[in-house]
Amino acid sequence: MANDRFDLVNWFARYGTILFLLLLVAGFSWARPDVFPTKLNLLNVLNQASILLIIASGLTVCLVMGLFDLSIAAMATLGGYVVCKLLVDQGDDPHVWLTVAGVLLLSGVVGVLNGALVSYLGVSAFIETLAMGSIITGAILGYSESRTVLGGIPEAFLSLGQEATLGIPNPVIVMGGVALLLWLLLEHTQAGRNLYAIGGNSEAARLSGIAIKRYALVALGISAACAALGGMVAAANLGAGRPQGVGDTYLLNAFAAVFIGASTLRPGQFHILGTLVGVLLIGVISNGLSILGVQTFWQYIVQGVLLIAAMFGAGMVTLRRR
Amino acid sequence: MTADSCEAAAPILEVRGVVKDFPGQRALDDVSLTVRAGDIHALLGENGAGKSTLIKIVTGVYRADGGEILVGGRPVQFTRPHDAQTAGIAVVHQHGNLVPNLSVQENLALGEALPRRLGAFVDWPEVRRRAADLLSRMGLSIPGGALVSSLRPDEAAMVSIAKAIATDARLIILDEPTTALLPREVELLFGHMRRLAGEGHGFLYVSHRLSEIFDVATSATVLRDGRKVWSVGRREDLRREAVVAAIVGREKSLAAEAPVSRMPRSEGPPVLEVRGLSSARVHGASFTLRTGEILGLAGLPGSGAEETLDLLFGRQAPEAGEILVGGRSRRFASPREAVAAGLALVPKDRLAEAALGGFSVRENVSLPSLGRLLTDPLTRFVRRGAERELVSGVVRRLNVRATGIEARMDSLSGGNQQKAVLARWLGTGARVYLLNSPTAAVDVGAKAEIYRLLAQLAEEGAAVLFTSTEVEEFPRLCDRVLVFRSGAIAGELGCPDITEARILGLAVGLADSGRAA
Ligand SMILES: Nc1ncnc2c1ncn2[C@@H]1O[C@H](COP(=O)(O)OP(=O)(O)OP(=O)(O)O)[C@@H](O)[C@H]1O
Ligand SMILES: [Mg+2]
């Protein structure tokens, strides 16, 4: 008897979020059969979710090894703005993909710098990335003189956020690529195992011969590059390079998605598949609620409640083990 | 004798037919036992037999799935540890129960009603006075203001024990309290236990160190696979052969008690040469470890034996001295370089330094061997099949008991976690094993298995540096023992001279046994 109940709780902790996602999809489809379940709208949900997933996947890598990266908001703004600005400044014949790669590299380097400060100066990642975020925000505001880059952005770049290939929106393709790569990294490579081990018990990992300091550079570098890439896709989608506020909307949502993910399938652990579920959940909720004409403030409240419920689900497993 | 005079004393604790199920296994099956006033009741059994689980049920940490518990003759239903405390049960759990970043006196006051001033403000001078009083009554010279995290493991253990003993609890439960203790502290503890038993308190006592059991226990219960297999109510019936047979099963008991038989070899080529190694705690240690040798580093905590292992593994940088591995001078800047050079370390504190609690046994064991399980050097994917094979192999070799290699590490019993930590290094092909209390919390049978494994590793060409807080381990295992005192090697003991008495003599500087180094 006791065993049956345990299994039920356990099952809910693992699959509760997925079940909830399915219920939401069913519910919205039932409420607005003409709007919600259409191909157009579902692609729209995916499209909206893709930027968040690109950013949240990178964040997942950091959280796996136990580091908080709060600079992702500023990093996303940096990615979007700097790319647009550089492209427009190049005039008629810009090197689009070279510029994109260059900015990704730049943001990666800033992330690695985060890692170096955290590892070798022993600063807490929470504070260090908060500070770095502030520095980047300030630098971009100064560099841009608070002016948004609007006209003259090359079509080739805008296609990254607006066009589709073989019927699939380009942002969704980028998201798929990033998520697949990071999933392979975390689940199937030695580096991924080591990241998990460091997050689990860093001293044990160190004594097992893992270079724990270097992994902070890798993780924060990946997180920064992903955030910048997400910012670029957002800018391409919007058709403008805004020097402020782009990333802020994604910061909270990215953390929410990753933590919801940690209560999915493998309770208590951060992982890409869970993050995907978290991102979809957030995407479906905001899409569904706006289709139903619910006001924005409800979306914040619902998302907060959801996050607490997810944490509760993960906590139940640990409690039940007693 | 306490046991005789209290034969008919009233039971403090009665456990009747308790059942506890964990997913995939029954941890306790119809277990009953009785602890009477004046009893020191030993709870014995192999790793994973269910001892800690039973204790957690009695103290309200877990809830039983069946059976009943009576305290002072009345049935009780504890739903949280606080209930047990109010009912007069004090406990020291296997993994300690102090808050590391609080001071000793704050920890001692934790969970009690604090003395107040004006009804609201904590009377800190009074807290300090009570703590100082308690520490001195226990015979401990630990400053009350020290942070628990700054204490040596044995001091922290003594503080937990002091806290449990100082309450006026009728029943005091100690789950492997002596794992970290020095012989002197063990004697201190036993003195207090005998005194309190004489005053009518009852004890439930878990330990894998059988010599302690025969020293202090007055009655005993043995669990195997969650079932009660043996119990005695009188001290006279506590005989070593009977107890060992009950713990490990009759057929295995001979093997558990047999000495480790192997050809002592100190003729092999040197694998590790240490010259003038110095740091804050070690002063100019020099020795040579040869292939096929098991060399013991004995000494009280803080004497330099354990610190030497840390220095060799690159956990701390030595201030001076030279380390040669395989004839080449090496200076390890980090454990990673030491591992790459073929060294392996089993650290002392399993929970803090070795186990990944939330991860599977597979992930725990394969961690340092992943480099040998890759598909190719570029993508560095881990070959799952090869990993499972490697892990299953070493887990079987060390007889780690779990529901499978996918079981979470923290669902294993303490001793089995320890075996998994040791198993971790078997897949790496390490040449030099640095082992700090590798058999702490391991049962009698498994201890013998680990000794045999180490002997086998040595015969296969590895070398072992071994240290332990349990002095009786050195004579059973080591070919040679270096005894540390205040940071320096005080003496060396060869094969026939390795005895507990001589090691202790050198360690505290009483006798001048052995030859000076
Ligand atoms: N939280 C848990 N979840 C699942 N299984 C558990 C849990 N705690 C213990 N077990 C299992 O219950 C059994 C009994 O474990 P317990 O810790 O009581 O053993 P023990 O007798 O204290 O062993 P040791 O001497 O090694 O400390 C073991 O097989 C263990 O794997
Ligand atoms: Mg135990």
pLDDT score recorded for residue A322: 44
Distance B328 CA to ligand 1 centre (A): 45
- Identify the architecture of domain B258-342+430-517 in CATH: 3-Layer(aba) Sandwich (3.40)
* Same fold across B2-88+168-254 and B258-342+430-517: yes
> Which amino acid would we find at residue B376?
D
pLDDT digit string, tens, across residues B270-317: 999 999 999 999 999 999 999 999 999 999 888 999 999 999 999 999
- Domain positions in chain B are 2-88+168-254, 100-167, 258-342+430-517, 355-427
CB contacts, 8 Å: B354 with chain A: 201, 204, 207
Would you call B72 exposed, middle or buried from its count of C-beta atoms within 10 A (0-12, 13-18, 19+)?
Answer: middle
pLDDT score recorded for residue B263: 63
CA gap B290, B273 in Å, rounded: 9
Name the residue in chain A with its Cα closest to that of B355.
A204
Q: Nearest-5° angle of CA A208, CA B417, CA B400?
A: 105
Q: In residues, how long is chain B?
A: 517
CB contact under 8 A, A197 and B379: no
The sign of the CA dihedral B265, B266, B271, B274 is positive
Domain B2-88+168-254 in CATH: superfamily? P-loop containing nucleotide triphosphate hydrolases (3.40.50.300)
Neighbouring C-alpha atoms within 13 Å toward the C-beta of B161: 28
- Is A188 at the interface with chain B, CB within 8 A? yes
Is residue A296 included in any domain, yes or no? yes
pLDDT score recorded for residue A146: 83
Q: For residue A206, give how far its alpha carbon lies from the nearest alpha carbon of chain B (Å).
A: 7
User: B interface mutation test: which of A207, A215, A320, A322 has the most B CBs within 10 A?
Assistant: A207
Of B15, B20, B26, B53, the one to substitute when testing ligand 1's pocket (max ligand atoms within 8 A of C-beta) is B53
Instruction: With a cut of 60, say whether residue A98 has pLDDT above it.
Output: yes
Percent helix / strand / coil, chain B, rounded to 5 = 35, 25, 35
Is residue A319 included in any domain, yes or no? no
- The most confident of the ranges A33-37, A173-177, A250-254, B298-302 is A173-177
Q: Is residue B106 left, alpha or beta, with left meaning phi > 0 and alpha meaning psi from -120 to 50? A: alpha
Is residue A300 included in any domain, yes or no? yes
The stretch B137-142 carries a mean pLDDT of 86
CB contact under 8 A, B21 and A2: yes
Contact B17, B31 (CB under 8 A): yes
CA gap B89, B108 in Å, rounded: 16
DSSP code per residue over A65-78: TT----THHHHHHH
Per-residue burial over A86-119, b if 16 or more Cβ lie within 10 Å, else e, is: bbbeeeeebebeebbeebbebbbebbbbbbbbbb
Q: Which helix (H) or strand (E) holds B493?
A: strand B488-493
Q: Of ligand 1's atoms, which has the minimum distance to the CA of residue B50?
A: 18
ipTM, interface predicted TM-score of the complex: 0.85
Distance B58 CA to ligand 1 centre (A): 15
Domain around A192: 16-314
The stretch B366-385 carries a mean pLDDT of 90
Is residue A306 included in any domain, yes or no? yes
Q: For residue A138, give how far its alpha carbon lies from the nearest alpha carbon of chain B (Å).
A: 38
Instruction: With a cut of 90, say whether residue B122 has pLDDT above it.
Output: no
Count Cβ atoms below 10 Å from residue B217 Cβ, excluding itself.
24
B82 or B263: which leads in pLDDT: B82
Count Cβ atoms below 10 Å from residue B198 Cβ, excluding itself.
12
Q: Nearest-5° angle of CA B512, CA B485, CA B316?
A: 155
- Is A268 at the interface with chain B, CB within 8 A? yes
Is residue A174 included in any domain, yes or no? yes
CB contacts, 8 Å: A203 with chain B: 352-353
CB contact under 8 A, A207 and B353: yes
Is residue A54 included in any domain, yes or no? yes
Instruction: With a cut of 90, say whether residue B360 has pLDDT above it.
Output: yes
Contact B280, B308 (CB under 8 A): no
Contact B331, B338 (CB under 8 A): no
Q: Tell whether ligand 1 has an atom less than 6 A from the beta carbon of residue B415.
A: yes
The B25-36 sheet, strands edge to edge: B25-36, B11-22, B66-71, B74-76
The stretch A132-146 carries a mean pLDDT of 91
Q: CATH code at A73?
A: 1.10.3470
Contact B193, B41 (CB under 8 A): no
Question: Helix A272-291 and helix A170-188: axis angle, to 10°?
Answer: 150
- Among A44, A113, A110, A34, CA closest to A77: A110
Is residue A170 included in any domain, yes or no? yes
- A54 is written with which tokens? 């690109």
- Among B365, B361, B288, CA closest to B322: B288
CB contact under 8 A, B368 and A208: yes
Proportion of chain B above pLDDT 70, given as a percent: 95
Q: Tell whether ligand 1 has an atom less than 6 A from the beta carbon of residue B413.
A: yes
pLDDT digit string, tens, across residues B48-61: 899 999 999 999 99
- A292 is written with which tokens? 């139903």
In this prediction, residue B264 has a pLDDT band, given cuts at 50, 70 and 90, of: low
Ion ligand 2 nearby residues (CB, 5 A): B 52, 94, 414
Closest by Cβ to B370, choosing from A190, A201, A206: A190
CA gap A129, A67 in Å, rounded: 10
Instruction: With a cut of 80, say whether residue A2 has pLDDT above it.
Output: no
Question: What's the number of domains chain A is made of?
Answer: 1
Give the residues across from B328 on adjacent strands: B325
pLDDT digit string, tens, across residues B305-340: 999 999 999 999 999 999 999 889 998 999 999 999
Neighbouring C-alpha atoms within 13 Å toward the C-beta of A78: 29
Contact B483, B492 (CB under 8 A): yes
